[in-house]
Amino acid sequence: MADGVQHGYEKGRAKRREIIDCAMTLFGEVGYRGASLREIAARCGISHPGLLHHFPTKESLLLAVLTQRDEVDGEWLSSEGASGLDALRRFVGLVSLNATRRGIVELFAVLSAEATSAAHPAHAYFVERYRASVRSFELAYTRARDEGVLRPGIDPGTAARQLVALMDGMQVQWLLDDGATDMAGVVRAHVQAQLTVPL
């Protein structure tokens, strides 16, 4: 009996993951507003009620998609205990990682633009995500300054906002030119120009 329950639980988790993956792809293609639960269910090969068993609302599915993205990015964006230089290297590494996962980049670009509306269900999520990103980047720049590797005259707060804007802007360019833009190269050159040591 216990084995059967465990097997059912694992099967349920696998199905949830499949639904999240399908939703991530569709949200990236047509946005949150343009995607329907029925279309996501059809892509996953399950019934609409079957999808509702796992995610009773479209908002709960969106939250699961965003949570999964954060689990992937969390270790890259966390600068706890890292030197300023190491944290900045990790941020550039995240851009390189993103160049291998178009679906996630597309999802983020589309949803973050949609979520500028206060009525969007992911609005609060993206407001906090941007705050957290700026805080994390500012901490890295502050540490780099304190370690003596940041060029004189560079303000950590301003540099943090510039880096967030550059990373997001490069993602849009990369999506529009079908991956021809070297996102990581541009971001690396930008950060390198702010440092007195090799990145």
Count of other CB atoms within 10 angstroms of residue 26 = 21
Closest among 37, 58, 56 to 47, alpha carbons compared: 37
Please check whether residue 150 lies inside any domain of the structure: yes
What is the domain range of residue 170? 2-192
Neighbours of 87 (CB within 10 A): 22
CA 172 → CA 59, 98, 166, distances in Å? Answer: 25, 12, 10
Determine, yes or no, domain membership for 52: yes
What is the chain's pLDDT, residue by residue, as a tens digit (199 residues)?
455 556 667 888 888 999 999 998 888 888 888 899 999 999 999 999 999 999 999 989 988 988 887 776 776 666 667 899 999 999 999 999 889 888 888 888 988 999 999 999 999 999 998 999 999 999 999 999 999 999 999 999 999 999 999 999 999 999 999 999 999 999 999 999 999 999 9
Contact 34, 72 (CB under 8 A): no
Residue 27: inside a domain:
yes
Residue 69 pLDDT? 78
Residue 195: strand, helix, or coil:
strand
Q: Is residue 157 part of a domain?
A: yes
Three-state DSSP at 151 gives coil
Question: Counting runs of H as helices and runs of E as strands, what totals does the chain give?
Answer: 9, 0
Length of the chain: 199
Per the domain annotation, does 197 fall within a domain? no
Total domains in the chain come to 1
Q: Is residue 37 part of a domain?
A: yes
For residue 61, tell me if it sits in a domain: yes
Report pTM.
0.81
CB burial class (10 A; 0-12, 13-18, 19+) of residue 105?
A: buried
Q: Is residue 199 part of a domain?
A: no
Q: Residue 155: which CATH number? A: 1.10.357.10
Tokens of 21: 């993956």
